[in-house]
Structure 1
């Protein structure tokens, strides 16, 4: 097994990356996958339609209408306009909050329009990078029911992830459970963010919470997406539970994914089973993966994982294993199958968006039942292997 000092090396690597996450604003979803491109498209469109003078006049009028003592109503179009017009100023942020609260109050019990504001508002806060305000508004009793959509939770939680607010992600998920909404008990996109938060927190408490959630999902017959599985497996390795990582990884049908293979090698080395890790390292020397598009995906291992395998082998002090490992690594290097990308970067790579028509042709029933709030100028669909209902 890895020595305590070796485990610290791995953890320090993750901690360094965590600092970079905050500085570089890493997103688990690319902007298009959470509809941020939709928001920015309509924001730019509105900017081109209204002069600065017209925008200021509108703000002043809305400020009067939003007053609790005013008998004027806040209409759907009013709120739509301010959400796409708002600037990063305290006055604008206060105005939009006042308008949302009045709109939500006047529509209690009877909604005249069918526009869903929750996800769009969260995209607004995401665009402005205001996680604290987004969280405050989400938790405000006056906004009850306003954000009860999976898309709203997902955008908010990704915004929190971007800003390193991992504890708050777990708080949001707990609040979703308490609301007992008529939605899936374990929504795939939300669960991915929850397990990502547990992985980033990397504490015994967060790991135990992840284990509890995993067990609940298994008992309910829920199949987590691959990204959720890799976060849980990495968390288990960090928390001295490589045996759990091995079992979790085995639950994935297709074992050829880069993240899974890197994690499995690490877990095996951690268990002192380096001999079992060698065939995995050797297996990619002649195994490119053909994709449906006709392109070939090169399989590889992360440099930090290779370094850890070498350290584990040196600790065993078995000359035969060391020689074989040296030969394998030399071949991997010659074929450019060792990447400088860290395992943490690989785990936190963005969920991307692909064309809906390609997805629909492969999954007609799923695509037909898929609904999205406030669709933009073009119908789109999210897809990553195993993800069929992110939003």
Structure 2
């Protein structure tokens, strides 16, 4: 979590769980580290790789792009993995990005593939740097492309963009869609930890009774499948609960943690 940046400073927290026998503490301020840096979600390396690719292939790149666009428009033309990868690394205009998406659909429908390259995260990074979150959402929720965008990396990149743009309802919508469809994770967890952090951050920033109710609903489902939650996730839910005058729930969720070592959690207690 060393790559998580930005802090949200909460208002003064007064009288946590007044009915409890715990020692009451006033914490000023409590910090919650939020939003993943561009480095953490691979944007910096992606931008650098694109710059290097364009620089290295500058003499022939225009010709390659023309051939690529022509092949996309031919119904019987086959899309090769390397060509699609190279177009992702060089696409710059709306027309070229549209061609990437068309090629992706053709590529995905091709039964004969010689490699298993995962295009989900690279395409999400391309749409991130080109500021196309609506298109990214459309692709993520396209059932015909579910095997491309069901990985945790694609969800993380898209959620980070939506939270960064303060599109909290959309971030919640995307995560719930992912929950219903299922995430592909390398950790074995049903719900990727980093994506959970971001959707809870969206709820925390909404800071309403409704967002707290949704947070309770989500955390119940997460615990049912994954047995525990991340301390940072718990900290944001606890702070949200406190701001909505439900300090008893804040203490309940903190008490359920297996390893409550986060400084924020110690402060809340």
TM-score (norm 2): 0.79
Q: Partner of 1:352 in structure 2?
A: none
Q: Partner of 1:327 in structure 2?
A: none
CA gap of 1:73–1:256, structure 2 versus 1, over 3 A, is: closer
Q: Deviations over 1:298-318 (max 9, x none)?
A: xxxxxxxxxxxxxxxxxxxxx
Distance in structure 2 (CA, Å) of the matches to 1:133 and 1:221: 31
Q: Partner of 1:144 in structure 2?
A: 146
Q: Partner of 2:209 in structure 1?
A: 204
How large is the RMSD of aligned CA atoms in angstroms?
2.5
> Structure 1: 5+ residue runs without aligned partners?
1-8, 12-25, 265-391
Whether 2:68 is the aligned partner of 1:66: answer no
In terms of fraction of residues, the more helix-rich structure is 1
Q: Partner of 2:83 in structure 1?
A: 78
SS of the aligned residue for 2:114 comes to: coil
TM-score (norm 1): 0.56
Shift of 1:81: 0.7
Whether 2:265 is the aligned partner of 1:263: answer no
CA gap of 1:111–1:138, structure 2 versus 1, over 3 A, is: same
Q: Partner of 1:43 in structure 2?
A: 50
Does the CA contact (< 8 Å) of 1:186 and 1:222 recur in 2? no
**Counterpart among 176, 181, 186 of residue 179 in structure 1:** 181
Distance in structure 2 (CA, Å) of the matches to 1:112 and 1:61: 21
Q: How does 1:323-338 map to 2 (within 5 A)?
A: none
Q: Deviations over 1:185-239 (max 9, x none)?
A: 2321121112111111222222111112222333446221111111111111122
CA gap of 1:204–1:230, structure 2 versus 1, over 3 A, is: same
Q: How does 1:357-376 map to 2 (within 5 A)?
A: none
Distance in structure 2 (CA, Å) of the matches to 1:256 and 1:140: 40
Q: Partner of 2:103 in structure 1?
A: 99
**Counterpart among 234, 238, 244 of residue 243 in structure 2:** 238
Does the CA contact (< 8 Å) of 1:27 and 1:162 recur in 2? no
Q: How does 1:151-300 map to 2 (within 5 A)?
A: 151-180=153-182, 183=185, 184-220=189-225, 222-252=227-257, 257-264=262-269
Distance in structure 2 (CA, Å) of the matches to 1:141 and 1:255: 39
Shift of 1:44: 2.0
CA gap of 1:223–1:103, structure 2 versus 1, over 3 A, is: same
SS of the aligned residue for 1:28 comes to: coil
SS of the aligned residue for 2:79 comes to: coil
